[in-house]
Structure 1
């Protein structure tokens, strides 16, 4: 098991990917990670998803000079259509969406930080398989997820494309931070049944944390 620091994740992931990988980033936020991936793989393709309009505009602006980054204003989910999205804000930055927003309503997330969820918006949703079919994307080498408790729903609606994925990097929660959120063990067990092995994480002791990141590679 590799125990890595968060900023080391991409350098480790790179070992398991081709030189020109196809990447799907679910929950791209403002594009910080997107830009790092674009710089690391200048000949790859990055498909970045961010459903919050204000953040999507920032994502587009921050990645506009990368021809190999494609941005989509969808939430990857388990159905096609529209859904309510719980927008998060830090009390010190009202009116500016933060990174804790989710398709799931907050639960324990409200108890361990000052994060606020003042309102919901309607966002378009699409499944991974539907999107891949519409845009003729196949295979995907890396699936990168930061979707605040909606990971398993996303995965279960993308099983056809998932068969082509080599590496998965995902955030997981150790409590029910959001209503109905699957836990670390749920995601680990499900991905292992799909043929993936957990090879790394950015935490040593999950008892001290509310969430962490896991790295899976296909067996």
Structure 2
């Protein structure tokens, strides 16, 4: 059984029949589509602050009543903050890039623009979440702090995490794990490792399950 299939089976056994799923950093919707395939009765809330990506995301799911798209970022405090847009859009972040060039040493990365985007607390938008997936390029911990009012009821968190700073101010895996542990969510594994040009593990997807 593949790692993805094993995780899907493990997660599915912990969820209600019609779970509420949050996709933070939904990009163009690739992961959202996979989540809906695995959880066909889910209600999915997709957050994507990059204006062009949010438009594409909305177009992709325009006829799917299960999906609500929010052209907003997730954070700890409601605000308008500058988003640093990179030449590789999936690396754009509310934090300034730091060690990200080490991770992608074989590519020329550059800041293409800075865009002011709305930031919301997740617990101010929703009153329930069963699954939270976050791919926010270093901004995962502020987003989780903004979900504090929901975390005691969350069953599963999947969050991209780094083993060394890729963005200025980014929290690393131990801090992320310690925060979620306080809500009864236990780190059970890190998957899909990405190695930098020096062979170091730079990042991966951390899976947290309710104890």
TM-score, with structure 2 as normaliser: 0.89
- The alpha-carbon deviation at position 15 of structure 1 amounts to 2.6
Show the counterpart of 1:186. Answer: 175
Tell me the equivalent position of 1:22.
20
Number of residue pairs matched by the alignment: 204
Q: Which runs of 5+ in 2 are unaligned?
A: none
Q: Distance in 2 between matches of 1:203 and 1:32?
A: 16
The TM-score, its normalising length taken from structure 1, stands at 0.86
Q: Assess if the C-alpha contact under 8 Å between 1:31 and 1:59 holds in 2.
A: yes
Q: Name stretches of at least 5 consecutive residues in structure 1 with no aligned partner.
A: 91-97, 133-137
Secondary structure of 1:104's partner?
coil
Partners of 1:6 and 1:44 lie apart in 2 by 18
Where do 1:111-190 residues align within 5 Å? 111-113=102-104, 114=107, 115-132=109-126, 138-190=127-179
Supply the distance in 2 between the matched residues of 1:205 and 1:56 (Cα, whole angstroms): 26
Q: Which residue does 1:85 correspond to in 2?
A: 83
1:218 maps to which residue?
A: 210
Q: Which residue of 1 aligns with 2:33?
A: 35
* Residue-by-residue CA offset, 1:32-58 (whole Å, 9 max, x unaligned): 011112222222200000000100011
Are the aligned partners of 1:38 and 1:66 in contact in 2 as well (CA < 8 Å)? no
Q: Could you tell me which residue of structure 2 aligns to residue 94 of structure 1?
A: none
Deviates more, 1:59-68 or 1:145-154: 59-68
Larger RCO: 1 or 2 (CA < 8 Å, sep 6+): 1
CA offsets, 1:85-127, max 9 Å, x none?
011223xxxxxxx211110000000233223222210001101
Q: Secondary structure at the match of 2:114?
A: strand
Match of 2:66 in 1: 68
- Is the CA contact (8 Å cut-off) linking 1:85 and 1:120 kept in structure 2? yes
Distance in 1 separating the partners of 2:32 and 2:49: 15
Tell me what 1:135 maps to. Answer: none
8 Å contact kept, 2:21–2:43:
yes
Residue 164 of structure 1 and its aligned partner are, at CA, apart by 1.5
Q: CA deviation at 1:140?
A: 0.8
Aligned to 2:98: 107
> For 2:48 and 2:210, how far apart are their aligned partners in 1?
26
